[in-house]
């Protein structure tokens, strides 16, 4: 910790939050808010005279609320930096601290938050994890029975720097416990709460058992476990040592903890697999190893940095095997427990690895980004005719399009991230997106629907989320209807109404419009642009009398492979429920309307050629159709 | 048809990957390749055991010269997996990397329809044909180069953020370590001794 504070190249900004992130790889601008401590960092020497005189005491969250702190405080004596902070929610403004600080004059109640913008080329997210609250498990009685503590409380109680100076005492009477039960998997591997294994609880259960035993050799310690998981180097040996030293391991998940109201001793009811029977044992104290869970503010950080979440709120890596340190956003990397529950050795390793990944960018003078940007066909833009428009410019999440009547719209290429929203929004087919042109996509649609279109589910997926979700379905072998035919664009904002009309005109059985959940959108507000359009289409199709479910809108993240498979299967079920004759009749009935609505798609450059080619392709595809 | 290069004749090469048994265990890639041969613009279509292996990449590179290919379609895995690989391969053979298109017949086909091999085969054909359709209208593009600000930010001052910041600092990169609490250290600073070495946590 102190190394970081001392490092000449590292600028530690504590009590600081990230408020906005703009820009792109190599060129991020980040807005930071350094909250006012009401104490001047360059004057405070950490002597603590102020806290001595402060009359207000509140529970210290650093001590898991087991000890008080003052309204002017440091979380712990080894805080880095060692600067005091006024807790405004507790302070009564008696200003005794100001007096005690005296000549140093470090306390300034007028000190305001400081907002700065920082330019950086790469960002590493290392926001860590949080702890499951075991009071929601009714059968364990945490919060009701004083002698049940959490693992984090144990870490503080049995700690020489902690509130009791390392004395392990029972909260009910201050006595040393003679027996201790440690319960694993509290809220982990429990489908009511969190399905995952929290990774490090088995090891810290053993650690705490050994530490308590070392300190109080006569304590009887039992660890209740479902499985002991010790797969890293030296961990199994650590476990073996604990067994040799007389820690008792009972295989079984306790079903109930009760209390003797007189003694406040606890009775742990549990199966004991070795004995093959249900046991009820009495303990002076119980420690619950609560699950590791995602940070409560994970959604905020996700949307600031466009990082998708895996189930449970862990940040999702670009690829679980090949790029575990990269987030889906170029230039943003992941380290530590925010990406998934992990212990210190793994967190440190990932921190160093993320630094190396970021170093690839930061040691380069230039970085290459994909040229999938928007381009205006100037002769088609009505701006050139002096007309009012600028729809594209309003759709752009990055302010990358300048529009003024009299001139064609101008895309500022360096600002364009390539969502394609402007392309789909332009009513005059005056913009295209490189590598995802109308011509290319319309040709793909024809090919995918060349054979038995009424049996097909044409699925439009955005690159970052739903395409990844479809990959995840495959990787996890979640099977879904093979009648699905996927088509990838960068963002749901690119999913042009014309594509959907054209798909139904060609007789598609069903069409899926699918992208990121709005907080995961890779293009800030691309998804809402897509969503508005999709909702409008849904309304039109309903009015036209399309069978509900043939057009479906779903937001599916790259982690939700099961969801992708489920949605496709549900769409297949809709198709199965419509008698074939009726479906063909409906397709014919709606064709003229689709034709009419899609009529302008041919205006875009190259589309005629593309359709002509696609027709030849479709013909050839049908020739070799197996009988 | 190919706007930037006049009306040059379309010459597409199609490579259908087995991925060992990942694809070939469910469908027969040779059937997909034969099917592709019959489609307009395709002058060469062939199956390959591992498209991403050196042998597979060399096959593509040699074919680009031998058959004078101006578009390449790789029917294999996810673009999230190997798009960079095949872009690099075609570009080494002198073709613009954006003239390569992939069809995902592994994650989004054989892995998802393992129990329906016949339907999976038809889907693989359609996905390959759609990639051919797109490939026909691909245009050569140049990557956009942007300057790099040689400064980093680490958000979160727990043990992982501290190691990242120290490593970046040691690489000579000015790094801002942002922590929302009044002190850095994260959960580790709250711990007693830590496994497996039982040393002090701070
Ligand atoms: C009871 C218990 C005992 C353990 N014992 C051991 C042990 O003995 N050995 C071992 O190897 N592991 C142990 N672990 C695991 C260990 O705690 C983790 O591996 C480690 O803390 C992960 O480090 P981290 O930096 O990823 O996350 P954290 O320690 O959670 O740090 C994240 C930091 O980011 C900050 N932050 C969060 N959000 C933001 C934001 N939006 N902006 C700015 N800052 C933010 C947080 O305030 C925090 O300082 C134990 C865990 C528990 C619960
Ligand atoms: S929406 Fe289309 S027509 Fe309108 S200004 Fe933008 S490019 Fe021009
Ligand atoms: S809307 Fe999207 S594609 Fe269009 S200019 Fe803005 S970022 Fe680029
Ligand atoms: S290219 Fe993809 S599908 Fe083919 S062998 Fe490599 S990993 Fe497998």
pLDDT digits (tens, 9 = 90+) for A398-454: 889 999 888 999 998 878 999 999 999 999 999 999 999 999 999 999 999 999 999
Chain B residues whose beta carbon lies within 8 Å of the beta carbon of residue A371: 98, 141-144
Residue B5 has pLDDT above 80, yes or no: no
For the stretch A185-197, pLDDT in tens is 999 999 999 999 9
For the stretch B97-134, pLDDT in tens is 999 999 999 999 999 999 999 999 999 999 999 999 99
pTM value is 0.85
Chain B residues whose beta carbon lies within 8 Å of the beta carbon of residue A508: none
What pLDDT was estimated at residue A625?
Answer: 55
Choose the closest CB to A620 out of B38, B183, B192: B38
For testing contact with chain A, the best of B125, B137, B151 (most A CBs within 10 A): B137
Pocket perturbation via mutation, ligand 1, pick of A335, A337, A349, A355 by most ligand atoms within 8 A of CB: A337
DSSP string, B53-70: SHHHHHHHHHHHHHTT-S
- CA–centroid distance for A558 within its chain: 11
Asked if B31 has any chain A CB less than 8 Å from its own CB, the reply is no
For testing contact with chain A, the best of B39, B160, B172 (most A CBs within 10 A): B160
Nearest CA in chain A to B129: A447
Q: Is the peptide bond before A81 cis (omega within 30 degrees of 0)?
A: yes
- Reduced to 3 states, what is the DSSP secondary structure of residue B86? helix
What pLDDT was estimated at residue A206?
Answer: 97
ipTM over 0.95: no
Domains and CATH numbers, chain B: 12-135 (3.40.50), 151-190 (no CATH)
pLDDT > 90 in chain A, percent: 89
Residue B4 has pLDDT above 60, yes or no: no
Q: Which of A199, A408, A171 is nearest to A287 (CA)?
A: A171
Those of residues 114-173 in B touching chain A at CB distance below 8 A are: 114-116, 119-120, 122-123, 125-127, 129-134, 136-139, 141-173
Q: Is the CB of A429 under 6 A from ligand 2?
A: no
Pairing mode, strands A248-251 and A220-225: parallel
What pLDDT was estimated at residue B2?
Answer: 43
Angle in degrees, CA A417, A423, A426, rounded to 5 = 135
Tell me which residue has tokens 């790094």.
Answer: B175
A359 to B189: CB separation less than 8 angstroms, yes or no? no
Those of residues 138-177 in A touching chain B at CB distance below 8 A are: 152, 154-156, 158-159, 162
Choose the closest CB to A127 out of B152, B155, B171: B155
Element (H, E) at A615: helix A607-623
Which residues make Cβ contacts (< 8 Å) with residue B150, sequence separation at least 6? A121, A362, A363, B173, B174
For the stretch A333-381, pLDDT in tens is 999 999 999 999 999 999 999 999 999 999 999 999 899 999 999 999 9
- The size of chain B, in residues, is 202
Taking CA atoms, A274 is separated from A163, A248, A286, A620, in Å, by 38, 12, 21, 68
Cα dihedral A574, A575, A581, A583 sign: positive
pLDDT > 90 in chain B, percent: 92
For the stretch A247-291, pLDDT in tens is 999 999 999 999 999 999 999 999 999 999 999 999 999 999 999
Q: Which of A29-38, A323-332, A497-506 has the lowest mean pLDDT?
A: A323-332
Residue B30 has pLDDT above 80, yes or no: yes
What pLDDT was estimated at residue B71?
Answer: 98
């Amino acid at each position: 910790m102190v190394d970081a504070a001392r490092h000449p190249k590292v600028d530690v900004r504590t009590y600081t939050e990230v408020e906005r992130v703009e820009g792109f790889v190599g060129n991020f601008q980040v807005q930071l808010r350094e909250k006012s401590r009401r104490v001047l960092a360059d004057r405070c020497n950490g002597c603590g005279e102020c806290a001595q005189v402060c009359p207000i005491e509140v529970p210290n969250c650093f001590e898991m609320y087991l000890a008080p702190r003052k309204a002017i405080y440091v979380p712990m004596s080894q805080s880095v930096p060692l600067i005091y902070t006024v807790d405004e929610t507790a302070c009564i403004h008696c200003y005794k601290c100001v007096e005690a600080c005296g000549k140093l004059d470090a306390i300034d109640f007028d000190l305001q938050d400081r907002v700065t913008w920082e330019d950086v080329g790469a960002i590493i997210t290392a926001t860590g994890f949080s702890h499951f609250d075991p009071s929601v498990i009714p059968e364990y009685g945490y919060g009701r029975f004083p002698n049940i503590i959490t693992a984090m409380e144990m870490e503080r109680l049995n700690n020489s720097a902690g509130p009791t100076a390392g004395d392990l005492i029972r909260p009910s009477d201050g006595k040393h416990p003679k027996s201790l039960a440690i319960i694993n998997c509290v809220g982990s591997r429990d489908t009511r709460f969190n399905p995952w294994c929290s990774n490090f609880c088995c090891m810290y259960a053993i650690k705490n058992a050994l530490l308590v035993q070392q300190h109080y050799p006569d304590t009887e310690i039992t660890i209740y476990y479902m499985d002991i998981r010790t797969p890293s180097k030296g961990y199994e040996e650590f476990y073996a040592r604990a067994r040799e030293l007389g820690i008792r391991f009972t295989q079984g998940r306790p079903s109930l903890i009760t209390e003797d109201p007189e003694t406040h001793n606890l009775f742990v009811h549990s199966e004991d697999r070795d004995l093959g029977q249900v046991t009820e044992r009495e303990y002076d104290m119980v420690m619950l190893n609560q699950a590791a869970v995602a940070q409560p503010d994970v959604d905020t950080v996700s949307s600031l940095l466009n990082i998708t979440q895996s189930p449970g709120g862990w940040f999702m890596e670009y690829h679980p095997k090949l790029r575990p340190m990269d987030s889906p956003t170029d230039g943003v990397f992941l380290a530590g427990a925010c990406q998934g529950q992990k212990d210190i050795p793994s967190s440190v390793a990932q921190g160093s690895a993320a630094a190396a990944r970021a170093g690839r960018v930061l040691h380069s003078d230039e970085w290459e980004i994909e040229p999938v940007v928007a381009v205006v066909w100037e002769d088609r833009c009505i701006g050139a005719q002096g007309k009012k428009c600028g729809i594209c410019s309003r759709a752009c999440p990055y302010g990358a399009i300048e529009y003024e009547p009299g001139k064609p719209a101008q895309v500022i290429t360096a600002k364009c991230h390539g969502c394609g929203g402007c392309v789909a929004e332009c009513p005059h087919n005056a913009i295209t997106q490189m590598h995802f042109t109308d011509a290319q996509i319309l040709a793909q649609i024809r090919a995918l629907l060349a054979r038995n279109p009424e049996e097909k589910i044409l699925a439009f997926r955005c690159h970052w989320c739903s395409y990844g979700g479809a990959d995840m379905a495959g990787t996890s072998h979640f099977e879904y209807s093979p009648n699905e035919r996927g088509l990838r664009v960068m963002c749901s904002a690119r999913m042009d109404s014309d594509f959907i009309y054209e798909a139904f005109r060609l007789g598609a059985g069903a069409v899926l419009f699918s992208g990121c959940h709005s907080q995961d959108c890779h293009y800030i507000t691309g998804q809402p642009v897509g969503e508005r359009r999709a909702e409008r289409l849904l309304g039109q199709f309903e009015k036209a009398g399309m069978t509900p479910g043939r057009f479906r809108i779903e937001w599916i993240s790259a982690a939700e492979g099961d969801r992708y498979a489920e949605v496709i299967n549900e769409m297949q079920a809709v198709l199965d429920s419509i008698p074939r004759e009726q479906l063909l009749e409906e397709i014919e009935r709606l064709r003229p309307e689709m034709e009419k609505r899609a009529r302008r798609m041919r205006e875009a450059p190259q589309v005629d050629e593309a359709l002509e080619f696609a027709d030849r392709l479709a013909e050839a595809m049908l020739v070799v159709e197996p009988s | 048809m190919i706007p930037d290069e006049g009306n040059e004749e379309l010459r597409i090469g199609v490579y259908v990957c087995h991925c060992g048994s990942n694809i070939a265990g469910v469908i027969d890639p040779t059937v997909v390749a034969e099917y592709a041969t019959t489609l307009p613009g395709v002058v060469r279509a062939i199956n390959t055991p591992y498209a991403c292996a050196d042998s597979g990449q060399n096959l593509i590179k040699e074919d680009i010269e031998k058959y004078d290919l101006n578009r390449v379609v790789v029917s294999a895995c996810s673009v999230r997996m190997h798009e960079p690989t095949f872009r690099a391969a075609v570009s080494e053979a002198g073709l613009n990397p954006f003239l390569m298109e992939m069809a995902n017949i592994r994650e989004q086909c054989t892995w998802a329809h393992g129990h329906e091999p016949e339907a999976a085969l038809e889907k693989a054909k359609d996905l390959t044909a759609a990639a051919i359709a797109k490939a026909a209208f691909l245009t050569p593009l140049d990557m956009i180069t942007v300057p790099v600000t040689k400064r980093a930010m680490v958000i979160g001052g727990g043990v992982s953020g501290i190691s990242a910041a120290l490593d970046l600092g040691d690489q000579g990169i000015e790094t801002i370590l942002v922590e929302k609490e009044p002190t850095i250290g994260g959960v580790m600073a709250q711990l007693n001794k830590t496994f497996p070495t039982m040393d002090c946590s701070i």
